[in-house]
A and B are shown apart, each in its own frame.
Chain A
């Protein structure tokens, strides 16, 4: 089922106003663009925007979420419609399942394992097999979310070192840094991870689930929507690491697509545009789904992932995190 409306990526400074039932986007150069509200699924803001109350109430009434990425690509926050689709029946089950330590940890472990496997898939290498084996061996003994995340951290460090070998020196991660990212590679990963998180959040808002009741990140990150963080995990490699590797290979990104300072890096204006175009194209990429018997886009895969959690809550169907099958 195709979602109503599209995602609009605002990569330049602009003003957002309401005009009847349209959103009017005014950019500094060029004439304003009007978008019927029914055409908008959500907005992703990469740069300064000036929004007024009447535009916000139109967004809210129409169920449109506005995501804000900060200068360094971190998800700075979002504006959500007042009404959500969350249903008491489903949220009640969600709370029960996540409060059950055993189930919560089991799902946490499977999320971490799937994400690691997806990372290996996206780097397309057997260099990671030993690290994957030791992750596999260590996970069953992890008795807390922190322990599980610790093991995931170990695996990721190895994976990033392997990834670095395939990147030009200026794009290498040299370890993961955030807030702010210290180099171009990390800035890239930050942007992509935030975009994936925003996609998951938007997907969750179209389900009866509550995005803040999660499994893996439940105890460690109280300020954020932990279920969205959880479900973003298995998709990050599909977008972040895979696209980093690909853009490096195709020399699509240039050094001047980033603004690098001592100890901090972010995307330049052109860099933001390039990334938005890249992600848009990627989200629209399709693969054939066997049981749905149709092509589904990567964006829809995220929606289907959210539905798996609905099935878990409503019908007790075990959750199997996303793995690419193609």
Chain B
């Protein structure tokens, strides 16, 4: 579609939850991730997140959508997502909306979503309505456009990069 499609990108790969999270956090991160640069596998923070995920809801049922793995889905088709961070972020609810969209496309009657923050014993409800659906579809299209771009999006400012696992790559010159 785009004439300047990047020869480095592997075509229209399915957009998953991580893609949406990264898109909201930093488009550059999404662009790099889509090309296979994945430093988060080495990062202590992510390892910690995985431990939280494994220990908090031991009876959860994983739903594997191929594109996205949903933490667990209760009988009422409520999407649950667990985060190891202490503060809610826009990326978290965007990710849940994306899962709602994917589920709906598979014919599931989605009621909404919840983000869990076990470390601070908090939950945040995510609404699923027409507006949310539009936002989810827009985010998906944005993600696809970023991934297809020939050049990497600019870095954020140095302050905004704090805590990002891509920092060594972006600033390590």
Q: Which A residues have a C-beta under 8 Å from some C-beta of B?
A: 1-4, 38, 63, 85-90, 92-93, 206-208, 289, 291-293, 300, 303-304, 307-308, 310-311, 314-315, 317
Query: Is B39 touching A2 in the complex (CB atoms < 8 A)?
Result: no
10 extra interchain contacts, Cβ-Cβ under 8 A, other than A1-B43, A310-B169?
Answer: A1-B39, A1-B165, A2-B44, A3-B42, A87-B37, A206-B39, A208-B38, A292-B172, A314-B37, A317-B173
Give the chain A neighbours of B168 by CB distance below 8 A.
Answer: 1, 292, 300, 303-304, 307
How distant is B130 from chain A, measured CB to nearest CB, in Å?
A: 37
Rounded to whole angstroms, the CA-CA distance of A51 and B32 in the bound complex is: 37
Tell me what chain B mostly uses at the interface: helix, strand, loop, or mixed. Answer: loop
Q: Is B8 an interface residue (CB 8 A)?
A: yes
Rounded to whole angstroms, the CA-CA distance of A308 and B37 in the bound complex is: 12
Look across to chain A and name the residue whose beta carbon is closest to the beta carbon of B173. A291
| Residue among B32, B35, B158, B167 with the highest chain A CB neighbour number at 10 A | B35
Give the chain A neighbours of B38 by CB distance below 8 A.
Answer: 85, 208
How distant is B155 from chain A, measured CB to nearest CB, in Å?
A: 11
A–B complex contacts, Cβ < 8 Å, 21 sampled: A1-B44, A1-B168, A4-B42, A38-B47, A63-B41, A85-B36, A90-B8, A90-B36, A206-B41, A208-B36, A292-B168, A292-B171, A292-B172, A293-B171, A300-B168, A303-B168, A307-B169, A314-B8, A314-B32, A315-B151, A317-B173
Q: A1-B42, A1-B43, A304-B172 are in contact. Are A88 and B36 (CB under 8 A)?
A: yes
Look across to chain B and name the residue whose beta carbon is closest to the beta carbon of A88. B10
Give the chain A neighbours of B167 by CB distance below 8 A.
Answer: 1, 292
Q: Mark B150-170, 1 if CB is under 8 A from A, else 0.
A: 011000001000000101110
Q: Which B residues have a C-beta under 8 Å from some C-beta of A?
A: 8-10, 32, 35-39, 41-44, 47, 151-152, 158, 165, 167-169, 171-173
Look across to chain A and name the residue whose beta carbon is closest to the beta carbon of B41. A85
Query: Is B152 touching A314 in the complex (CB atoms < 8 A)?
Result: yes
Give the chain A neighbours of B151 by CB distance below 8 A.
Answer: 315
Give the chain A neighbours of B172 by CB distance below 8 A.
Answer: 289, 291-292, 304, 307-308
Q: A1-B168, A38-B47 are in contact. Are A207 and B8 (CB under 8 A)?
A: no
Rounded to whole angstroms, the CA-CA distance of A27 and B158 in the bound complex is: 48
Q: A304-B168, A307-B168 are in contact. Are A93 and B8 (CB under 8 A)?
A: yes
Rounded to whole angstroms, the CA-CA distance of A194 and B38 in the bound complex is: 27
Interchain CB contact (< 8 A) of B35 among A3, A208, A291, A307: A208
Look across to chain A and name the residue whose beta carbon is closest to the beta carbon of B51. A38
Look across to chain B and name the residue whose beta carbon is closest to the beta carbon of A310. B37
How distant is A95 from chain B, measured CB to nearest CB, in Å?
A: 12
Query: Is B35 touching A90 in the complex (CB atoms < 8 A)?
Result: yes
Query: Is A4 touching B8 in the complex (CB atoms < 8 A)?
Result: no
Look across to chain A and name the residue whose beta carbon is closest to the beta carbon of B168. A1
How distant is A100 from chain B, measured CB to nearest CB, in Å?
A: 15
How distant is A235 from chain B, measured CB to nearest CB, in Å?
A: 15
Look across to chain A and name the residue whose beta carbon is closest to the beta carbon of B162. A293
Give the chain B neighbours of A85 by CB distance below 8 A.
Answer: 36, 38, 41
Name the 3 nearest CB pairs between A and B, nearest first: A87-B36, A208-B36, A304-B172
Give the chain B neighbours of A208 by CB distance below 8 A.
Answer: 35-38
Query: Is B42 touching A308 in the complex (CB atoms < 8 A)?
Result: no
Rounded to whole angstroms, the CA-CA distance of A38 and B37 in the bound complex is: 21
How distant is A276 from chain B, measured CB to nearest CB, in Å?
A: 23
How distant is A234 from chain B, measured CB to nearest CB, in Å?
A: 15
| Residue among B36, B39, B47, B158 with the highest chain A CB neighbour number at 10 A | B36
Give the chain B neighbours of A93 by CB distance below 8 A.
Answer: 8
Give the chain A neighbours of B10 by CB distance below 8 A.
Answer: 88-89
Rounded to whole angstroms, the CA-CA distance of A292 and B158 in the bound complex is: 9
Query: Is A4 touching B36 in the complex (CB atoms < 8 A)?
Result: no
How distant is A264 from chain B, measured CB to nearest CB, in Å?
A: 39
Give the chain A neighbours of B37 by CB distance below 8 A.
Answer: 87, 90, 207-208, 310, 314
Rounded to whole angstroms, the CA-CA distance of A92 and B6 in the bound complex is: 13
Look across to chain B and name the residue whose beta carbon is closest to the beta carbon of A206. B42
Query: Is B169 touching A89 in the complex (CB atoms < 8 A)?
Result: no
Give the chain A neighbours of B165 by CB distance below 8 A.
Answer: 1
